[in-house]
Structure 1
Amino acid sequence: MKKSTWIVTLQPDPEGTEDALLIFPDEFIAQVDWNEGDMLNIEQNEDGSLLISKQRSDGAD
């Protein structure tokens, strides 16, 4: 799979909590073939960026 870099901005929670929403662009979702309900792995890099990948169906990272 071709690796791509996407930059998205966290959106404030519309309910006014201190949480934030990470909304993935439709083009990105189509490219990586993610679906609602997929489990994701999230790792924080030293520079503060996040590495997000879909968890494999066999449970391995």
Structure 2
Amino acid sequence: MNIIEKNEKSAQTFQIEIVETLSTIVDVVAEDEQSALLKAQEMYRSEKVVLYPDDFIDTKFNIFQ
């Protein structure tokens, strides 16, 4: 058996998750923390707050088996 055949038999497929983290801080006026969180979520969902590549913080690689 040559080296190529041996390597092909040992090759496997792996699922790798790549997670990029973007982060920004926004000022929200609200009566309490819960209301502020809800307002921030709505601002994000309605695209009033948009994260850009400049907001990049980290990349992680996770393997699934």
TM over 0.5: no
Higher helix share: 2
- TM-score by structure 1 length? 0.26
Higher relative contact order (CA 8 A, sep 6+): 2
TM-score by length of 2: 0.25
Structure number, greater radius of gyration = 2
